[in-house]
Every structure is written in structure tokens, then in C-alpha cells.
Amino acid sequence: MDKFREMETFISVVECKSFVGASERLRISKSVVSRIIQQLESRLGGRLLQRTTRALSLTDAGQRYYQLCCQIIDDLDIAEKVVGTSIEQVSGHLRVCSSLSFGSLIWTNNIAKFLQRYPDVNFEINWTDRHIDLVGEGYDLAIMLSQIQEDSSFISRKIASSKMIMCAAPDYIEKFGNPQSAEDLNHHSFIRYSNKDMMNAYKSGINTSEMMIHGNTRLTVNTGHNCLIAALAGLGIVSLPAFAIRDYMFSGDLVEILPGTDNTEIGIYVVYPTRKYLSKKVRVLIDFLVEMVNT
């Protein structure tokens, strides 16, 4: 028998001063009320109520039990109100992991804005391109770059997408020439990304990954950010999200290779363990990220 149900039934009997009144309050039959009280007294090993045909009264043990039950119910109500209020407040510790490319090139410039908007939030961010166990590692939310999110155990929301652009530094092009066709890529050096999940995300139609397969792998690194650094150093051709190289393309530090050839698009996702009972701090962060990538 559920102890909370026993307490609730006992309190109702005492306050309604009858089994009939308790049954009407709880919307259960009088016989069920009677059985619950009998089971409660049997479990506790003593009588809580003195019953007569005309009235019932509390024993000393019943009076004490009634007071304690009321205190427990009141404490539970207070606890729920406190927790409910804290859930709705934008405060507390927020732990987030983000892909290194997204984190270092976009999110960095907006951390101050988020913290100014929500001064009661303490923010912890881990930039990494490795696979993250959200629950096991205690993260509230992850920002991931991928073509598709397949893990049904988590909630994922696509907040933006970015075209993949194949590019190289002007120094590389000056030394080795600018490819004029996909076949020319076979004679060039490439900077490859070793992250398996991300490489799988790039495989769509005729894309950079397939075109680069016969080229020379000059360097393999495990983060998109290091791919960018290597490309800027003139070490080879690389394929990176447009958002990550936009400023470098504008400044001329990187030049697009075979414009329009690569049709790959990569999604920017926020991933979190559950939609149910999502805290206010996580909800406002998701809204902030959507606002950030669309302005």
C-alpha cells in the first residue's frame, strides 16, 4: 500500500469526521476507505481511530499520527513550491559542451551578452569535438555539428545549417595551382578531419569527402579548428563550414576551391537529455542560441 495514500486517506477521515465524507472527498468508495484505514492500523500495530455507530474519535496515537501526517503534507507542498519557483527562475549553474569550431569562432563573442542578460547564471563551457555522454558527464546541453542526429534517446533541435566550403590559403594555390576540376584534386594535398562522426556527416552526394579520397593526405587532425589553422598555414586544401571561415574568406586569407562543386550542408544542433521538465535556464539558452545564429 502506498504510504502517501494511507496518510491522505487518514487525514480525510479525521477532517471529514466520517468514512463517508472521506470517500466523497477522495472519490473512492466507503469500503475502500475502510480497508485502507484497517491496513494502516495493522501495519502500524495499533488503533488510530475509535469508532462508534454515531461518531469516531482519535486515539492518542491517532492524534500524534494525524499531526505528523499534516506536517509531512505541508512540507511536501512547500518543497514543490520552492522547486517549482527555482525551475522558473533563470539562475544556477549551466554546463554546456560545444564543438570547438562553433565555440571558438561564434559562441566566444556572445558569452558576455548571455551572462549580462542572465546575471544569476554561472556558465561552464567545454569546447571539444569528441563524442560526449551528456548524462554521464553531467552536461545540460550540447552544441553539435552534424548532418543528422540519430540518437533517439536525446532531444535534438536544428537551429541552423551551414554549407561546407572547400578552400585553401593563397600561398598554397601559388605553389601548387588552383584546381580547375574535380579530377585535378587527385594531384593536391588535403588536410583531413579524423573525427569519425563528423566525417560521416559530410558524406552526402558528390561532396568534398568523396572528391578528396584520391588526393594526398598531407595532415590529419582531430578538430575543425586545427584544420583551419593548418589551412591558413598553407598546408593543403580543407573543407570547413562556411560560418567557420567567413571572415577569412572576406579578408582573402582563404580562397574557395571549385566554387559550387561541394553540395554538402552541415547542421548546427542543440542536444539535451529530455524535453520534459526542461529547466528555465536551458530553455533560455536554446532561445539565445537560435537568436544568435540567425542574426
Predicted confidence (pLDDT) per residue in 251-277, tens digit: 999 999 988 776 678 888 888 876 555
Please tell me the distance from the alpha carbon of residue 195 to that of residue 178, in angstroms, as a whole number: 27
Find, among 164, 170, 251, 255, the residue nearest to 203 by Cα: 164
Amino acid sitting at position 230: A
- The CATH architecture annotation of domain 161-265 reads 3-Layer(aba) Sandwich (3.40)
Q: Are 154 and 273 in contact (CB under 8 A)?
A: yes
Query: Lowest-confidence range among 188-197, 200-209, 275-284?
Result: 200-209
According to the 3-state scheme, what is the secondary structure of the chain?
CCHHHHHHHHHHHHHHCCHHHHHHHHCCCHHHHHHHHHHHHHHHCCCCEEECCCCEEECHHHHHHHHHHHHHHHHHHHHHHHHHHHHHCCCEEEEEEECHHHHHHCHHHHHHHHHHHCCCEEEEEEECCCCCCCCCCCCCEEEEEECCCCCCCCEEEEEEEEEEEEEECHHHHHHHCCCCCCHHHHHCEEEEECCHHHHHHCCCCCCHHHHHHHCEEEEEECCHHHHHHHHHCCCCEEEEEHHHHHHHHHHCCCEECCCCCCCCEEEEEEEECCCCCCCHHHHHHHHHHHHHHCC
Q: Residue 129's pLDDT is what?
A: 72
Q: Is CATH 3.40.50.720 correct for 3-88?
A: no
Quick: pLDDT tens for 116-170.
Answer: 888 888 888 887 777 777 777 888 888 887 655 555 567 778 888 888 889 999 9
Which residues pair with residue 14 across a beta bridge?
Answer: none
Q: Are 204 and 263 in contact (CB under 8 A)?
A: yes
User: What are the domain boundaries of the chain?
Assistant: 3-88, 92-160+267-293, 161-265
Please tell me the distance from the alpha carbon of residue 17 to that of residue 22, in angstroms, as a whole number: 8
The CATH homologous superfamily for domain 92-160+267-293 is Periplasmic binding protein-like II (3.40.190.10)
Instruction: Please indicate whether the domains covering 92-160+267-293 and 161-265 agree at the CATH topology level.
Output: yes
pLDDT band with cut points at 50, 70 and 90 for residue 210:
very low
Please give the model's pTM, rounded to 2 decimal places: 0.56
- Give me the phi and psi of 239, to 5 degrees please: -115, 120
Q: Are 225 and 106 in contact (CB under 8 A)?
A: no
Please tell me the distance from the alpha carbon of residue 225 to that of residue 217, in angstroms, as a whole number: 17
Give the residue-averaged pLDDT of 63-86. Answer: 74
Please tell me the distance from the alpha carbon of residue 226 to that of residue 244, in angstroms, as a whole number: 12
Give the residue-averaged pLDDT of 87-96. Answer: 76
